[in-house]
Copies of this chain bind each other. A is one copy, B any other.
């Protein structure tokens, strides 16, 4: 997908896969800049790469349901993606994708269902988009970190997130009692959102622990994302919400609407949470 200046979009380059040795094996050069800090690659980015391999190995263009187990951290290296086809037909196809490092050690397994989504109007819809201020009145965390987009750290170089001020108190040392985040999201370079991008967007907001004043990272254990429609052009709105934190486990529900207010993705993850409060 070339831009007007014929440069490919960041996301397409970073998620590209090519055929490896043997049937159903793909290779990808993971991009170290899609990290969340400390060199740890974003879980949503890894999910998009795995789904890219699943789509390449399928007759259907869109990931509609993906479930990932995060076994270990994945180094930003050349990785292999083995796609094991499951049952498939005219409507949908299943596969299992195993992402392994150069030594063959798996770090991510993904069950993927592919199909062909359309933009037809839903027969039933009851998930109204939350009301929040427009992007220009929201908190641009990346701009705070560095006014120069090319010098921003990690993910924020690629993904433009504007936090609803009502959920951004923690960014100025005023944590909330409620682990909820809302943000407008788009790619910095103007790449349109599509089902593959929604997988990254479903895991791109800061950890909900931060919102309530925890300092530790909350590594994803398992994440499912359902893609429910083709997003219209423009910003998407993502909301993440935890319902229970107990015994060191945290759930994180992510809902994404497109610019027309249509629900386009739903994700739910289980994460481990450090018990040490900030």
Contacts and interface: CB of A to CB of B under 8 A. Distances in A.
Interface string A207-248: 000001000000001101010110000000000001111111
B244 A124 contact: yes
Contacts of A125: 243-246
A106 interface: yes
A131 interface: no
Nearest to A84: B109
- Interface residues of A: mostly helix, strand, loop or mixed? strand
A243 B239 CA distance: 15
Contacts of A67: 67, 69, 111, 222, 224
A251 B228 contact: yes
A86 interface: yes
A30 to B, nearest CB: 18
Contacts of A123: 245-246
B120 A246 contact: yes
A65 B243 contact: no
Contacts of A96: 69, 96, 109
A179 B126 CA distance: 9
Contacts of A246: 120-125, 228-229
B113 A111 contact: no
Contact of A268 (B72, B126, B268, B272): B268
Interface in A154-173: none
Contacts of A92: 221, 272
Interface in A112-146: 113, 115, 117-118, 120-127
A161 B268 CA distance: 26
Contact of A71 (B87, B178, B179, B228): B87
B247 A117 contact: yes
- Lowest 9 A-B CB distances belong to which pairs? A67-B67, A122-B246, A224-B224, A65-B222, A71-B87, A124-B245, A127-B243, A69-B111, A123-B245
11 contacts: A91-B272, A109-B111, A113-B222, A113-B270, A118-B247, A122-B245, A126-B242, A226-B251, A228-B244, A228-B251, A229-B247
